[in-house]
A and B are shown apart, each in its own frame.
Chain A
Amino acid sequence: MFAVLMITLLLTILLVGSNMDTILKQGVMFQVRAEIVENPSIAESFTDPEEFEAFIQQKIDERVKSLGLDTPWYSPQRVGLTMYKILILDFGNATFLTSDSGSSNIADILLEKIPRTILLFTTATIIISIIGIFLGAASSNKIGSKTDRFTSTFAIVSSSFPVWWIGMLMIFLFAFVYQIFPARATPSIGPEEPGYIFSLLYHMALPLITISLIGFGSWAYLVRNFMVGVLQEDFITAKKIMGIDKKKIVYKHALKNAAPPIVTILALSLSGSLGGAIITEAVFDWPGMGRLYFDAIGVMDLPVIIGSTYILTVLFLISIFVADLLYGYFDPRVRTKN
């Protein structure tokens, strides 16, 4: 687990490292020249332009050295240092982006964005799984019924539409044609004001509806397939013969037995949706991690990219871990005795 985290981090740094150095060096050059322009007395003290240039170059070199940019970015100390810093959650400062409160500290920015992403996608996943599990169980109860056929068709059709495209359509329909919901999901008032929570929820409605609409079909289909498998097992037949109510069998006994894979996939889909958040949030302009990531890519704000990739990986790994734990909890057969 930890090794995966390290590899992810290393890969990210390897991928963005060289660009980061070029940008930083240009920044230093710009800074030094700006300082000299601000101080006319320095320029006046030189008579020979070549000497002046040499002086500037020397200044730049000094600054580059003090920042540790003179060693190439792939040198072990520098990669090691960056990784160590990120491990202790010291992400440094963003180059361009700031948090809503104006801080450019990446930890601040991330702390502000993560809860919003989790709020949107966890709520969506909960809605999806509740609808999905009940619809799936209901259709496995009566295979070939109208519910079943509806579920299967809806699952197949909805899963082939990209969420973000449905998002665009929903914005088009419910924000412009029928002006029910706001087009941008960013709340219009600041977090200090009293109505903020309501504003946030109101702005959250459209993305939430879209994600749930696209998600629950395939969920129901998945649950149905697991349930069909379980319902064919011997103990269910035995219970049927014992004369237990069929509804009770489906919702109590079969659902319980189908739980382990369902819960695992639930945890995994939660983490998967966090990755997909990048596009969804970009469409709805929801001010979470995904939007941050998208904005950071747009302006090449590399510290932010590294920081948010790290956080996304951590969240992803945590949910895989939780999925493993839950599987063990629900399915005693896989528990190992130590």
Chain B
Amino acid sequence: MSTDLAVDIKREFLKSKIGISGVLILLTLIVISIFALISIPSAEFQDWNNPEKWISYPKTSVPAWVNIFMFEKIPEHKIIQSENITNEEDGIFISSQQFRFNYAFDDFPNDFMYNFELNYTGSPLLEMTVIRPDGIKLELLNMSLPHSSESTSFKQTIFSTDSLLRKNLDFQSNIYEYEARNLGSTELIFSEKTDRRVLTGDYVFIMNAYNLETKNMFLDSNLIIGGKAFGVMGTDELRRDLAVGLLYGTPLALFIGISVSIGSVVAGLIYGVYSGYKGKKTDEVMMRFNDVIYALPALPFLIILAVTISNSIFLMIGFLMIFSWVGIAKVSRSISLQIKTRQYVEAAKIMGQKDSKIIFKHIIPQMLPYVFASIAISVPAAITTEAGLSFLGLGDPSFPTWGQILHDANTYGAAAQGFWWWIMPPGLLIAITGLAFVFIGNTLDTIINPKLKR
């Protein structure tokens, strides 16, 4: 491609609003991908299907920003961390943690749990109290941890449904001015003194570990206030944070789309140009082979290949390439048939240049604009086909793609249960990614084929 032509195309491209918006969307997606790749180490990709990682997340909760539009605020799911404070009083070592948060929602939390890991020797006493916004201090729990003569790490989770906790609250239920006996612990802690409404304001949960002999240390602990709204994108049935899944999906979709389209366009281009340039018998044979591949029904074969050979994402990219180079080969053959007859190609031939040199130096450069347009145009098809395969449950389980999120949504009946935040974003992202490439491709196409412009 001569530089003049490149400059021309660039200038024409910059004139087109659609083309520029395509490029902008693509750039945004690339930035998101880079952010995803940097912020999430590749080992964590595997954790998508590991239920243990998501245990502290809520189940099918709406995105937190929904509250902005809601009159009654949905309780947000909170995972609260705290610092560890250690001090000594009269020979008693105290480690304490304070979980402070503001609760300003119109419904009670589902539950709360306290995960902790305590490093100690001897037999420490754990005390759990809460200070409510109205200043009332409730004793929640007093428990002694099992004795140990050497330094150990003790791990436990205290749930709001704990029966001891409930009993302790019953002793203090005289502060409520109504019958509090048949309320759950969570509701008791978070309700007004005067009637059964949510008490909003700052709550402080305090955990103290007392030990006589040595210092003890809280290692890894958090307090989870179970709510029904979480994060930017909400969570799914398996408690996974959809924002993370969608973020993972972006570089994957771009990778799949771009590598399939580049691979198939380059393969189709070389195949078609060679076939057209050689002509005669070679052309005949190559085009018949092309017809055979063309006549294979792609999706059924992709499914069979995925089921019988492997559903690894890299092989899948290869399979997708097998079925997508055919059309490009046909078109590039016909273009090369035209270019072949130009005088400079014939001159090069008479000069005795090698076939490969003529093809790569004289014919293919002429076709570059067409090549770029077809790469851009064939990306969306690759992305949607991969998403479709994943949607059928044939995707690579170690790489969560948008299609797989939709597959899970479909298996858990997200449509029936109205989990719109589980269905909408992945599909929209697929469409937006596709649109970016279609915009770019169409703009290039209209520049190359001025007939369409008018």
Contact = CB atoms under 8 A, between A and B. Distances in A.
B454 A143 contact: yes
Interface stretch (B211-219, B273-281, B351-359, B419-427): B419-427
A160 B301 contact: no
Contact of B388 (A164, A305, A316): A164
A119 interface: no
Interface in B97-145: none
B299 to A, nearest CB: 4
Contacts of B307: 297, 300
A11 B322 CA distance: 14
A279 B391 contact: yes
A168 B427 contact: yes
Given A164-B388, A168-B406, A293-B303, A232 B435 contact: no
Interface stretch (A42-50, A75-83, A237-245, A307-315): A307-315
Nearest to B403: A162
A3 interface: yes
B423 A278 contact: no
A171 interface: yes
Contacts of A271: 297
Interface in B418-454: 418, 420, 423-424, 426-427, 430-431, 434-435, 438-439, 442, 451-452, 454
A183 B416 CA distance: 8
A26 interface: no
Given A228-B451, A297-B307, A313-B295, A172 B300 contact: no
A191 interface: no
Interface in B279-320: 291-292, 295-301, 303-305, 307-309
Contacts of B430: 160-162, 165
A62 B256 CA distance: 49
A283 interface: yes
7 tightest A-B CB contacts, nearest first:
A160-B434, A165-B427, A172-B415, A275-B299, A4-B295, A161-B431, A275-B297
Given A15-B304, A283-B410, A293-B303, A320 B295 contact: yes
Contacts of A159: 380, 434, 438
B106 to A, nearest CB: 24
Given A156-B442, A312-B300, A165 B406 contact: yes
7 contacts: A4-B295, A8-B295, A162-B384, A165-B427, A165-B430, A177-B418, A228-B451
Nearest to A298: B393
Classify chain B's interface size: 35 or more
B415 A183 contact: yes
B392 interface: yes
Interface of B: 291-292, 295-301, 303-305, 307-309, 380, 384, 387-388, 391-394, 406, 409-410, 414-416, 418, 420, 423-424, 426-427, 430-431, 434-435, 438-439, 442, 451-452, 454
Contact of B297 (A169, A172, A300, A309): A309
A168 B418 contact: no
A64 interface: no
B299 A278 contact: yes
Nearest to A321: B295
A201 interface: no
Given A7-B292, A165-B430, A274-B297, 20 more contacts: A1-B295, A11-B296, A12-B304, A159-B380, A160-B380, A161-B431, A162-B387, A165-B426, A165-B427, A169-B423, A183-B416, A229-B451, A278-B299, A279-B388, A297-B394, A298-B393, A305-B304, A308-B300, A309-B304, A312-B300
Contacts of B392: 278-279, 282, 294, 297
Most buried by B among A15, A160, A161, A232: A160
Contacts of A320: 295
B300 A232 contact: no
A294 B299 CA distance: 11
Contacts of A175: 415
A271 B435 CA distance: 25
A282 B388 CA distance: 11
A275 B435 CA distance: 23
B410 to A, nearest CB: 7
A165 B424 CA distance: 9
B303 A278 contact: yes
* Most chain A beta carbons < 10 A, residue from B380, B387, B410, B426: B410
Contacts of A176: 415-416, 418
Given A160-B380, A279-B392, A317-B295, A168 B423 contact: yes
Interface string A161-187: 110111011011001110000010000
Contacts of B423: 165, 168-169, 172
A99 interface: no
Interface in A1-45: 1, 3-4, 7-8, 11-12, 15-16, 19
